[in-house]
Amino acid sequence: MLSKKNFHTKQKVISVLLLFSFFAFAGIIYTFRISSIIDARHIKLVEYSENVEVEVFNGRIQMDDGLIQKDSLAYIGIKKSFDKAILYVNRLAEIANKTKRDVPDSNQIFEQKLSETKTSIEHLEQLIMSGHYHKRQSLDSTMLRAYLDFNRIFTEYEKTLQNYINESNSRLKKKIFLLLGAIFVILLVSLLLIARLMDSLMKADRQILSNTMDVEQRERRRIAMDLHDGLGAILSSVGMYSKILEKELIDNKHAGEKLKHITNLSNQALQAVGEIINNLNPSILNRYNIVESLEKLCAKMNSIGKMTVEFDSSQFSGEMTKSKEVMLYRISGELLNNSLKHANADHATIKLSRIRSHVILSYHDNGVGFEISKLAMHGNDKMGLSNIVERVESIGGHCVLESSPGNGFTIKIEFN
């Protein structure tokens, strides 16, 4: 069930990442597309506006040439230029009509000035063509005023066009900022979801490790009971029968010596089985709490005479689960054996304390020490420290290791 949950959690993490990537990519594509459309639209507006001015200016030049040269055919070119100018104005109006929703305020003013420009061009064309039909040979003041009005209106139109483009760009920037804000919010939500999913995944992993430890503990207990009830009982029977035979064959010294040897071997085997059983399932923890068990472990090490061990539990109170007590007891035993066998230490201290809801086990010896950086190298952990770290992390705890050549070894274990 837990492996399935892990699989589904990983699927959810991937789905969240894909969903965020999709939104981010879609937002970037949308922004790029809108920006390209607006840029192309602005280029067309500027281009058509310049063409309007050029065509009106060309019409004015051709009109002057027609008047000077008294060429009536010049009016055909004049009409053509003004018709082109009006065509460009109509194209500008089409673009403005498509962008009413984008910049409604500026668009209204822009269309108004564009309409005035178109009216001015039509009026100017009408005056010129009217002068041609009536065979007027010179520009009168009415035409001059009409052309000056066109220049004034077109200048105002250009200012309006610039404002229109600026407001359009400003609105585009706002859209981009809003889009970036939305992407940022989606990113935060995605990170929050991923953090929760990862936390769920870590909890599931810890649960798997915790369940594994529980299963291991139950299996150790079962094996210990099987050894005690099975092999232990057989070895006890062998020792008992060998002693009975010793009494019956008391006159046969040769057979008696062999039976004594069998008795010694059975006792040694029974003692070895007892040690194995104790390692599999420390029976001391069934009779004593963790503090008393560690005190007896330290007393046992002191009785060996090769190393002095001090134990301090003055700052510890409360109880722990049996699995955690077993883990701490085994870790303490392994650390003491490491100090004795590998570190050549003659003094060690164990301190068990509790700070609020945290249990802390501090261990220090004055042994030869080693390079902590080399502990992570493959095949270099001869003292089983990596195994200790993994077991502590499996219950949500953490370890801090300190050591250097000649400065002993220190480890601090902390968990809830």
Band of pLDDT at residue 349, cut at 50, 70 and 90: very high
Average pLDDT over residues 200-204: 73
- Segment of 60-69, 203-212, 313-322 carrying the highest mean pLDDT: 313-322
Task: State pLDDT tens for residues 223-233.
Answer: 767 766 677 67
- The answer on 311 and 274 residing in a single domain is no
* Residue after which a domain boundary falls, among 254, 279, 304: 279
Task: State pLDDT tens for residues 136-182.
Answer: 444 456 767 777 887 888 888 888 888 888 887 888 788 788 877 87
* Residue after which a domain boundary falls, among 279, 296, 328: 279
Instruction: State both tokens at 50.
Output: 């310049």
- The answer on 228 and 177 residing in a single domain is no
Instruction: State both tokens at 413.
Output: 């274990």
Band of pLDDT at residue 350, cut at 50, 70 and 90: very high
In sequence order, which residues have a C-beta less than 8 Å from that of residue 211 and are 6 or more positions away? 2
Identify the CA nearest to 372 among candidates 360, 362, 385, 361: 385
- The answer on 252 and 128 residing in a single domain is no
* Residue after which a domain boundary falls, among 204, 220, 239: 204
C-alpha pair distances (Å), 371 with each of 341, 376, 385, 398, 410? 18, 10, 13, 20, 12
Task: Judge whether residue 269 has pLDDT over 60.
Answer: yes
- The answer on 134 and 6 residing in a single domain is yes
- The answer on 121 and 252 residing in a single domain is no
Average pLDDT over residues 359-377: 81
Question: d(Cα 79, Cα 125) in Å, to the nearest integer?
Answer: 7
Tell me what pLDDT residue 7 has: 58
- The answer on 384 and 291 residing in a single domain is yes
Task: Judge whether residue 27 has pLDDT over 50.
Answer: yes
- The answer on 65 and 146 residing in a single domain is yes
Residues of the chain with pLDDT > 90, as a percent, come to 4
The alpha carbon torsion through 272, 274, 277, 282 (nearest 10 deg) reads -120
Residue type, 105: D
322-333 burial: b if 16+ Cβ within 10 Å, else e = eebbbbbbebbb
The CATH number assigned to the domain holding 335 equals 3.30.565.10
Average pLDDT over residues 327-338: 86
Q: DSSP H helical segments within 70-103, as ranges? A: 74-98
- The answer on 175 and 35 residing in a single domain is yes
- The answer on 265 and 190 residing in a single domain is no
More confident residue, 280 or 339: 339
Taking the model in full, what pTM does it have?
0.47
- The answer on 50 and 197 residing in a single domain is yes
- Segment of 2-6, 52-56, 247-251, 407-411 carrying the highest mean pLDDT: 407-411
Q: How many domains does the chain have?
A: 3
Determine phi and psi for 355, rounding to 5 degrees: -120, 105
Band of pLDDT at residue 133, cut at 50, 70 and 90: very low
Tell me what pLDDT residue 91 has: 86
Identify the CA nearest to 6 among candidates 188, 190, 209: 209
Band of pLDDT at residue 132, cut at 50, 70 and 90: very low
Determine phi and psi for 359, rounding to 5 degrees: -100, 130
Band of pLDDT at residue 131, cut at 50, 70 and 90: low
Identify the CA nearest to 99 among candidates 188, 170, 164: 164
Q: What is the extent of the structural domain holding 328?
A: 286-415
CA 240 to chain centroid: 67
- The answer on 27 and 86 residing in a single domain is yes
Question: d(Cα 201, Cα 194) in Å, to the nearest integer?
Answer: 10
CB atoms within 10 A of CB 343: 21
Question: d(Cα 199, Cα 205) in Å, to the nearest integer?
Answer: 10
More confident residue, 54 or 382: 54
Question: d(Cα 98, Cα 320) in Å, to the nearest integer?
Answer: 75
Instruction: State both tokens at 321.
Output: 């689960």
Residues of the chain with pLDDT > 70, as a percent, come to 76
- The answer on 229 and 199 residing in a single domain is no
The alpha carbon torsion through 26, 27, 31, 33 (nearest 10 deg) reads 10
